[in-house]
Chains A and B, each alone.
Chain A
């Protein structure tokens, strides 16, 4: 499968782009070092919206973008910063440099994009991981046991699928208040049902196979059969397809933070940065609109390339997994 993905120019582009994004996320502390180093590496990996419930005070929040003064007007990119790689965020006199300029209110764009990649990937992986786990558990119980267990669980799935997810997100955020932690929680709360139904279908097709009856005849317990025999033989397509959903999940997240429902204005989050750019376009009609081009070009390109990369890869993988369309594209 990997060979075919690498041969197709579209999916190859997707893979290369994703490799760059993963590199950006992994190397964030090197590419854009925070102003003061954190006491423990945990703060670099676990964002504050996960840590907050467990800790009263956070000594260090690298996901918050450093701010250069308190004026509103954006600053243009400094070519000076690019004399080294990774670009410098401070010159030798301690003055702040902005490799890609700043947003409105003077938050550094380079820092925001680099750490925003980390935010996006962490949020995407957390959501997909949790929804998948719930989906697999519910789906396999439902598919394996069948009869009334199946019908009760599937009615639940039908109900969750019938709820309008986006609207429910608005309702819940209007009660709990804004924040990425809440958005992630809501996504998990309403996202598992699709996977559960998918897993159930696959389990149903595997359940009657000989090796399952064989394990039953040997007296294996239900859980043993599900986790050692049924799931390993059926789960890979589910895992692959689910991981490809990260692109659209991140798209939804950034949409909500664009609306102002994210972590607040200094948080490294792509949607939030686009929201800043909007003010700079609407505000300058008649003037030179290109004056602040960097505020929307860089964040806009980053988020589009990210989603595009997942879609390119996703399309190719789905073609390979769906043999009916093999050879048609």
Chain B
């Protein structure tokens, strides 16, 4: 088991190297002048009102080795990364590392509230659907799930925004109201312990800010969860149906066990095996693209929104930073799922 975990953890740096090296290979077809333009934000030919001369540009290119082959540029970059320098993000106007540290809590907060309800409610509804197979409840739950994975995140997001903000005015977009933003970011009395607004508000004993942060979270969380929710519910349902037809379920019922124990202990535990292996990695993948789209729809200032801006404005270092974090998240979740798998299915041994 330990050997397996170590092997999987070693795979992560390998994937990092592959992704970043691929990026440098993709940068190769650009000329040195275009590469310099990735960093200085303006058309280099007319930079600073023509004040930036060709010689100065040439010096910049030589200083940062932008005219050298991809491999030596890569080695140079890697050396900097190991010193904790991920480069300068021109969209955030600060070092990439700092920009990530600033924005990550917002995205993490969104994901935190979105993941738990997804997993629990989806599994519950999936079981419900399988137990009431082909009854009205099953049909309505299936309808709910098939619309769920057919509705694009951005369409659903706009619909709920329209209804709950436009018509009812309950849940505004953004991350905090203007008055709360001033207190949270600028006031000396408010300490940002974790960067998660809801938790910081409780720690500071500011319940008005807690409510405000929560109001801004409801719609993004709902949007982000609905899609993955529907997919997970569907997998649970079909896996549960498959399990409930097994002979040992009949045996358990024949022994006189209550229906509750038959379903939860004999049924669900076995049905969860395919759910963890198939569904959880898919949900994480969906969440990553979902988070980017959700943050854009609701103008929620997290890492996803920043990365979209960065992509649109050729801010390669920023996008690369986001990608490395996202990749680590995926690899680590998959590892966690594999470890959990041993507890769910005792037949599995990784040796």
Contacts and interface: CB of A to CB of B under 8 A. Distances in A.
Interface string A273-292: 01101100110111001100
B19 A312 contact: no
A173 interface: yes
Given A171-B19, A315-B146, A274 B155 contact: yes
A168 B134 CA distance: 41
A178 B314 CA distance: 10
Contacts of B297: 278
Given A162-B15, A176-B26, A274-B155, A170 B319 contact: yes
Q: Chain B, interface size: which category?
A: 35 or more
A167 interface: yes
Interface string B6-46: 00000100010011001100110010000000000000000
Nearest to A308: B150
8 contacts: A168-B19, A175-B23, A259-B311, A274-B155, A278-B161, A281-B158, A308-B146, A311-B150
A168 B154 contact: no
A304 B156 CA distance: 9
Contacts of A274: 152, 154-155, 158
Contacts of B308: 170, 259-260
A321 B331 CA distance: 32
Contacts of A286: 169
A102 interface: no
B18 to A, nearest CB: 7
Contacts of A175: 23, 26-27, 30, 314, 316
A296 B162 contact: yes
Contacts of A167: 288, 322-323, 326-327
B147 interface: yes
B151 A311 contact: no
A164 B327 contact: yes
B173 interface: yes
B323 A168 contact: yes
A197 to B, nearest CB: 15
A92 to B, nearest CB: 37
Interface of B: 11, 15, 18-19, 22-23, 26-27, 30, 133-134, 146-147, 149-155, 158-159, 161-162, 165-167, 169, 172-173, 238, 241-242, 245, 285, 288-289, 292-293, 296-297, 299, 307-308, 310-312, 314-316, 319-320, 322-323, 326-327, 330-331
Nearest to A310: B150
B242 A304 contact: no
A164 B11 CA distance: 14
B20 to A, nearest CB: 9
Nearest to A178: B312
A291 B30 CA distance: 47
Contact of A303 (B15, B147, B155, B238): B155
A282 B298 CA distance: 9
Nearest to A299: B155
A177 B29 CA distance: 13
Given A176-B26, A255-B152, A259-B293, A300 B159 contact: yes
A261 interface: yes
B327 A285 contact: no
Contacts of A172: 26
Contacts of B165: 281-282, 285
Contact of B319 (A174, A258, A277): A174
Contacts of B331: 162
A152 B330 CA distance: 24
A34 interface: no
Given A271-B154, A308-B147, A284 B312 contact: no
B9 to A, nearest CB: 14
A324 interface: yes
A146 B18 CA distance: 26
Nearest to B241: A328
A103 interface: no
A302 to B, nearest CB: 10
